[in-house]
Amino acid sequence: MFLRIWILLFLVFLSYTIYLYINCDTGRQIPVERAVVAGRDLWQKKNCQACHQLYGLGGYMGPDLTNITRTKGENSTAIFIKYGTGKMPNLQLSDAEVQNLVAYLSWVDKSGTSKVPENKVHWSGTYLIDTKQ
Ligand code: HEC
């Protein structure tokens, strides 16, 4: 009797494993372009995060750059990175390097929003995550 139950459980386990293996969804991974990877490497090598945040994490000398390409546009972002300002250093990057960094920042931008809109903040200081985004 017990043996039959164990055999039955094993068969259920085996068929479910096979079902999952066949139906596993590999299409959900976001494809990453070469420029994005190169931009990510540069972001780390030049230590942009020492002064900037992504998702609110990082240094606080410069602004959060999670959604910079959405708010300022890719061209304006590229010009800032290329020439710097009085406060942002000119890091002497080539045009190709600047484009890779912009590609990386656009990719980060597509992953979500870092700032919580004012009307989403509850009076208690917490906020609801909008799952429809
Ligand atoms: C020494 C600190 C420092 C480093 C390192 C640094 N930045 Fe900045 N960055 C700043 C500051 C400060 C500003 C704001 C400049 C201003 O308003 O004049 C800024 C502004 C920017 C802006 C424009 C933001 C806006 O709101 O318009 C972009 C884009 C940017 N930085 C990208 C980068 C990237 C990419 C790197 C790495 C390659 C980097 N920064 C490294 C300090 C830094």
Q: What residue segments make up the domains of the chain, in order of their start?
A: 34-114
Instruction: Please indicate whether residue 117 or residue 14 has the higher confidence score (pLDDT).
Output: 14
CA angle in degrees (0–180, nearest 5) for 33-45-65: 65
Instruction: Write out pLDDT tens, residues 15-36.
Output: 999 998 888 766 556 668 899 9
Number of Cβ within 10 Å of residue 23's Cβ equals 7
Are 43 and 49 in contact by the 8 Å Cβ rule? The answer is yes
Nearest atom within ligand 1 for CA of residue 77: 29
- Give residue 120's pLDDT band: very low, low, confident or very high (50, 70, 90): confident
Instruction: Give 78 Cα–ligand 1 centroid separation in angstroms.
Output: 11
Residue 23: per-residue pLDDT: 80
Identify the CATH class of 34-114: mainly alpha
Q: Find the mean pLDDT for residues 70-95.
A: 95
Q: Is 70 in the pocket of ligand 1 (CB under 6 A)?
A: no
* Residue whose C-alpha is closest to residue 67's, from 116, 110, 128: 110
Q: Find the mean pLDDT for residues 6-19.
A: 95
